[in-house]
Amino acid sequence: MSTRSRLIICAVVLGALHLGVACAGFFAPYDPAAQDREHPYAPPMRLHFVDARGGIHLRPFAYAQELRTGSFDQYEENTARAIPMRFFARGASYRVLGVLPLRWHLFGTDAPVYLLGTDGYGRDLLSRVLFGGQVSLLAGLIGAGLTLSIGLCIGAAAGFWGGWKDEVLMRVAELFLALPWIYLLFAMRAFLPLAVPPLKAFLLVVVVIGAVGWARPARMVRGIVLSAKERNFVRAARGFGATGGYLLRRHILPETGSVVLTQAAVLVPQFVLAEMTLSFLGLGVPEPVPSWGNLLASLQHYNVLVSYWWMYLPALVMVPFFLGYLVLASLLQGSSRATKIEEAPVEV
């Protein structure tokens, strides 16, 4: 298989994963904030095809969970009450991508079915994981976009201007590189307001994450710009009277494309993780809005850790995403290296 077709497969899989999260409302059976006070900390329900009497059903069903008598968090299946799943059912209303209002869900049931269990408020964990992915992935994507734009601008400016401006910009970049990024994240977040509404907190987190990581891409872009501006075709264009802005836009910045793309594939999972870390520690997106980080926050309580293992499941959701990005980054790196060797500039 060629690198190109591998890249396409990887991109398609990643795209599908993201599309799934973007359409969280469709795949999630319930509203992420809807509480079911009758079922706090309900364990994941199992889907059955075979009922208690051995009869086989084509339509999967779950048995209703009821509190064991005398217990407040121990559930048992009531095999007398089967809840069949109905596919493409109507349920809680949601908006696709925040615009299109819809009521269709992948599946619906007459009585609540929690495939990943519920949290302490009786909120469906599956729905929260799906909607939380929207927050975390969006934070990662926007953060990476922000970082790359800052890095591109600063790197291009430093490389193109050269001289003392280059020196100053690169010293500042070294400053940002020298700091451990999680500390930098903390320090920046530390001195920004703590208790803010979810949307503002989300924007804050994105800006903080985006502002922290620009140094590495900036240095890479600078290196490419430095070598690109001495290439013959750029010199030729300059000789024809091209202005600096035109040269940058038309001839130099396109050279940085592959590096920027590779960096994006590296940065997005890093920044998703950064958002998760901040939210996990209570410095990021607050309740009741779910994010992959604050879904895990309840695990900081010992009793949750001991009794409700399914609260750990959200930690595993991001693994396929990270795998996709890792493969994508290594493929992009390989392909850009290959093209670089092909069209290596001939030194005159």
Q: Nearer Cβ to another protein, position 242 or 299?
A: 299
User: Interface with another protein includes 280 (CB under 8 A)?
Assistant: yes
Least distance to another protein, CB of residue 111, Å:
29
The span of 7-15, 94-102, 153-161, 269-277 binding another protein (CB under 8 A) equals 269-277
Locate 229 and state its tokens. 């501006």
Q: Is residue 72 a contact residue for another protein (CB under 8 A)?
A: no
Considering only CA atoms, which of 226, 222, 216 is closest in space to residue 263?
Answer: 216
- Give 213's DSSP letter: S
CA distance 315 to 120: 17
43 CB-near residues (< 8 Å, 6+ apart): 65, 75, 117, 308, 310
Positive/negative CA dihedral, 143, 145, 149, 152: positive
Question: Taking CB under 8 A as the rule, does residue 207 contact another protein?
Answer: no
Looking at 30-38, 181-189, 215-223, 331-339, which segment touches another protein (CB under 8 A)? 181-189
Examine residue 341 and tell whether it contacts another protein (CB under 8 A). Answer: no
**Residues near 164 by Cβ (< 8 Å), separated by ≥ 6?**
none
Closest approach, Cβ 263 to another protein, in A, equals 17
Shortest Cβ distance from residue 212 to another protein (Å)? 11
Rule CB under 8 A: choose which of 77, 186, 198, 242 binds another protein: 186
Smallest gap from Cβ 119 to another protein, in A, equals 15
Question: 47, 182, 203, 236: which one contacts another protein (CB under 8 A)?
Answer: 182
- Cross-strand partners of 50: 56
> What's the sign of the alpha-carbon dihedral 201, 203, 208, 210?
positive
Interacting span for another protein (CB under 8 A) from 24-32, 115-123, 272-280, 332-340: 272-280
Instruction: List C-alpha distances in Å: 21 to 7, 17, 95, 98.
Output: 21, 7, 13, 13
Amino acid at 264: A
**Least distance to another protein from the beta carbon of 182, Å?**
6
Chain contacts with another protein (rule: CB under 8 A): 171-172, 174-175, 178-180, 182-183, 186-194, 273, 276-277, 280-283, 296, 299-300, 302, 305-306, 309, 312, 315-316, 318-319, 322-323, 326
